[in-house]
Amino acid sequence: MRELDQEILKFNHDQNFKYEDFYVSKSNEHVFNFINKWPKWEKNFLNIIGENFSGKTHLVNIFLKKFSGIKLNTDSLNHKHLQEIKINQNIVLENFNEKIDEKLVYSLFNLIDQDNKYLIVTSLEPIVDINFNLVDLKSRAKNFLLYNIEKPDDELMFALLLKNLSDRQILIDKKLINYIIKRIDRSYGKIFDFIYKIDQLSLIKKKSIDLKIINKVLGE
């Protein structure tokens, strides 16, 4: 994990998914450690769950960069992708939800199983809890290992706030970050909503972030 003992980091504002920019904490270390054990997994099917902005995409991009493979989005999945799957050992299927072509997904699962490939599915909730119409798909969903990215702990909240404010070249005292952590909801979505609002206010006021601005955003 990066050293956090600094007030501002020189990051590009563009989103990146570099290995070194993933912050490992108690909230996600079990998932991070597991994917890096590949191919020594108990099963070939893995479901990573976590709320929006929790780092699921960052994790699978790290995995694919290290071990190679193909990434598909559930919403755009089609039969042509079955051919691409055949030439890749590792497959990532992002944003899995109940609005899927069940027969197509079942074919995908079967292909991966038959060819002894590996599949990572990311979703907000466990896919085993989805009420599929296809009975065989329900059975397949039960065969996934389940890893949950938990709500951010203080260390991860500090890292996310510092890194993302620094990305936007926003100077902030570390004591103020600790002040924010004690008062903001322990939610990835709330953290990034706070960062967005602070960014907008800093552009308008054209000054460093102080306690007055922070309290204004926290109170909204």
Say if residue 128's pLDDT is above 50.
yes
Query: In the listed set 148, 163, 197, which residue is the last one of a domain according to the structure?
Result: 148
Q: What is the mean pLDDT of residues 3-14?
A: 33
CATH number at 159 reads 1.10.8.60
Least confident of 16-20, 96-100, 112-116, 178-182: 16-20
Same domain for 114 and 159?
no
Domain co-membership, 143 together with 169: no
| Domain presence at residue 4 | no
Q: Of the candidates 148, 166, 186, which is a domain's last residue? A: 148
Residue 162 Cα distances to 129, 166, 178, angstroms: 35, 6, 10
Do 31 and 136 have their domain in common?
A: yes
> Helix 174-181 vs helix 211-218: angle between axes, to the nearest 10 degrees?
20
CA–CA dist 161, 219 (Å, integer): 18
**Is residue 99 assigned to a domain?**
yes
Q: Are residues 132 and 156 in the same domain?
A: no
CB of 177 closer than 8 Å to CB of 158: yes
For residue 145, list its beta bridge partners.
Answer: 46
**Mean pLDDT, range 125-129, rounded to an integer:** 97
Verify that 54 and 135 share a domain, yes or no.
Answer: yes
Q: Does residue 56 fall inside a structural domain?
A: yes
Is 13 a domain residue? no
Could you report the per-residue pLDDT of 23-64, keeping only the tens digit for each? Answer: 999 999 999 999 999 999 999 999 999 999 999 999 999 999
109 and 202 co-located in one domain: no
Structural domain count of the chain? 2
Q: Is the peptide bond before 126 cis (omega within 30 degrees of 0)?
A: no
| Structural domain of 209 | 152-218
Is the pTM higher than 0.85? The answer reads yes
Q: Which of 115, 148, 181 is the last residue of a domain?
A: 148
**What digits encode the pLDDT tens for the residues 160-176?**
999 999 888 888 888 99
In a shared domain, residues 90 and 176: no
Same structural domain for residues 141 and 92?
yes
Q: Does one domain contain both 115 and 163?
A: no
Residue 141 lies in a domain: yes
Residue 2 predicted with pLDDT over 90: no
Does any domain span residue 11? no
pLDDT band at 13 (very low <50, low <70, confident <90, very high): very low
